[in-house]
Structure 1
């Protein structure tokens, strides 16, 4: 998005678009509700690509989380946003992308008062070529392939710390998300294309 100001889609409580705001300034102590996504990328052995957010990120710097998070731009589908961010942040392509938690919503507050406030559909996909992994250091501080079941157990038991949204999502995802059928619930209106 070089040369372009990245915009996020602002939402009302029913998930309808009500405007846009520059991503660079949307997160603060009164962050408005906006559209996002979370992606969980699995390999052929059902290992999840876990990422640690770069230390320079505005929200939850240095914290381990799911594979990739981001914001669909105005007019961009959630699937296209996932593909864009996986390529840009990790150098990876996704196959068999499935909607797992269409209406996931959360609000979390950092110790400094910065708020995340998102309707955040959750998608699960398979990594086409795991060997292509090439993290962008401005986005990703570290990566680790972790058996999904082990990660879920450790996070939910409190043995492993992750981002607040990742913990909530792991609590709601099925035991074997890579083989689960796609969710049938509708996406929020702003995320439909």
Structure 2
């Protein structure tokens, strides 16, 4: 069975299910999440998406992002995907939610109601090479510098969420 996403309205209320690629072809709003992870040095974990991902391949982004499965809570999905993509899990807390829409050159449209979570981790990382091409921790100031100099090297959702994450962590 092909992966399904949870379609939602602008209030994150479920309106139905749809096959993931069909939702991205039609640009329908669906539930998603993004996980940001920092270490004790205050550095943020970035992953470079696998080069052959269906969109944004090779771009740098947060520790992991995905969609909850039908019947799965967003919190459970964050832990499942962090373990699947990066090979570890850690305590997480939700920071905020936002909606965004991005059209890609390949005709796909990312239209997501994104739940943004944050955690702290200092242990070993064993990413899935099907999902992740590379990874590293970077100081926040260096990420800000790179985002300013070369925004095209980062995913659209990372460019939108990162400033809000930093603002909330500094509060």
TM-score after normalising by structure 1 = 0.80
> What do the CA deviations read for 1:8-66 (whole angstroms, capped 9, x no partner)?
101123321011112244322x2211000001011111111100111121121111111
Q: What do you get for the CA RMSD once the two structures are aligned? A: 1.8
Aligned residues: 170
Q: Which runs of 5+ in 1 are unaligned?
A: 181-193
Q: 2:62 corresponds to which residue?
A: 66
Q: 2:9 corresponds to which residue?
A: 12
Distance change >3 Å, CA 60–CA 104, structure 1 → 2 = same
Q: 1:54 corresponds to which residue?
A: 50
Distance of 1:163 and 1:83 partners within structure 2: 21
Contact preservation (8 Å) 1:50, 1:65: yes
Distance of 1:27 and 1:137 partners within structure 2: 23
Q: 2:111 corresponds to which residue?
A: 117
Shift of 1:100: 1.4
> What do the CA deviations read for 1:119-172 (whole angstroms, capped 9, x no partner)?
001111011x522x11111111110111123213431x2345311110011122
Distance of 2:164 and 2:149 partners within structure 1: 16
Contact preservation (8 Å) 1:12, 1:18: yes
Determine whether 1:146 maps to 2:138: yes
Query: Whose helix fraction is larger, Structure 1's or Structure 2's?
Result: 2
Q: Note the 1:66-85 alignment, pairs <5 A.
A: 66-85=62-81
TM-score after normalising by structure 2 = 0.90
Q: Which runs of 5+ in 2 are unaligned?
A: none
Query: Whose strand fraction is larger, Structure 1's or Structure 2's?
Result: 2
